[in-house]
C-alpha cells in the first residue's frame, strides 16, 4: 500500500503528561507495541523491517531530513512475522542499524499518535496525519499536524529532523 503522510517527531520530557492530555480527547488506543526496527542499507530512502507485538511491516519511505513537520512518501507491506523475510533482506542488503523502542499507539480519525521510549535515545512524541486514498490532501494533513504541535506545546527546539536510525548511527 502506498500512501501520503505528513508528520513531526519531537523530543519530550513530558511523555506521560502529553499522553494524558491526548486521552482527554478520547482517542482509540491501539495498544503498547514493543518494536524492533531493522534498517537495511539501500541506495536511497529508508527501508526497515518492523517487528512488534502489534505492528509487523516492511516499510520503505522517502522523507526530507528537516526539523518540524515534513511530508513522507511511504510504501508499506504488512505481513505476519517471518524470520525468512528478515534473512533475505539481511543477506541482500546488509543491516544498517536496529532501533528498539516501546511505543504507545493512539488514533483520532486519520491521525496516528506515537508515544515512544527509544533505547539509548530517550522519549519522543510523533504525530502522523495519514492520507491512504488521496481524499484528504497535503494541506489538510499539514494543518492537522500543526494543530497537534500546538496542542502538545511542541517548541521549535524540540523537533527532530532525522529518523531514530540516523540518531543512532
Instruction: Assign domain 2-168 one CATH number from 2.40.320.10, 1.25.40.80, 1.10.10.60, 3.40.50.300.
Output: 2.40.320.10
How large is the greatest C-alpha to C-alpha distance in the chain, in angstroms?
46
**What does the domain layout of the chain look like in residue ranges?**
2-168
Question: pLDDT truncated to tens, each residue of the chain (169 aa)?
Answer: 777 889 999 999 999 999 999 999 999 999 999 999 999 999 999 999 999 999 999 999 998 887 888 888 889 999 999 899 999 999 999 999 999 999 999 999 999 999 999 999 999 999 999 998 989 999 999 999 999 999 999 999 999 999 999 999 8
Q: What is the pTM of this model?
A: 0.93
Are the C-beta atoms of 100 and 116 separated by less than 8 Å? no
- Give the number of other CB atoms < 10 A from CB of residue 169: 10
- Residue of 32, 29, 15, 25 lying closest to 144 (CA atoms): 25
Q: Which residues pair with 128 in a beta bridge?
A: 7, 112
Are the C-beta atoms of 31 and 108 separated by less than 8 Å? no
Amino acid at each position: 500500500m502506498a500512501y501520503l503522510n505528513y508528520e513531526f517527531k519531537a523530543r519530550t520530557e513530558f511523555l506521560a503528561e502529553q499522553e494524558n492530555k491526548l486521552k482527554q480527547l478520547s482517542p482509540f488506543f491501539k495498544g503498547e507495541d514493543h518494536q524492533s526496527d531493522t534498517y537495511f542499507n539501500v541506495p536511497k530512502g529508508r527501508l526497515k523491517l518492523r517487528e512488534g507485538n502489534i505492528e509487523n511491516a516492511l516499510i520503505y519511505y522517502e522523507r526530507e531530513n528537516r526539523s518540524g513537520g515534513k511530508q513522507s512518501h511511504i510504501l508499506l507491506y504488512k505481513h505476519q512475522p517471518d524470520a525468512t523475510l528478515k534473512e533475505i533482506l539481511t543477506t541482500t542488503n546488509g543491516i544498517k542499524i536496529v532501533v528498539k523502542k516501546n511505543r504507545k499507539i493512539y488514533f483520532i480519525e486519520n491521525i496516528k499518535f506515537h508515544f515512544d521510549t527509544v533505547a539509548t535515545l530517550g522519549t519522543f512524541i510523533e504525530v502522523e496525519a495519514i492520507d491512504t486514498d488521496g481524499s484528504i490532501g497535503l494541506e489538510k494533513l499539514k494543518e492537522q499536524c500543526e494543530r497537534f504541535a500546538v496542542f502538545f506545546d511542541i517548541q521549535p527546539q524540540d523537533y527532530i529532523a532525522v529518523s531514530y536510525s540516523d540518531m543512532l548511527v
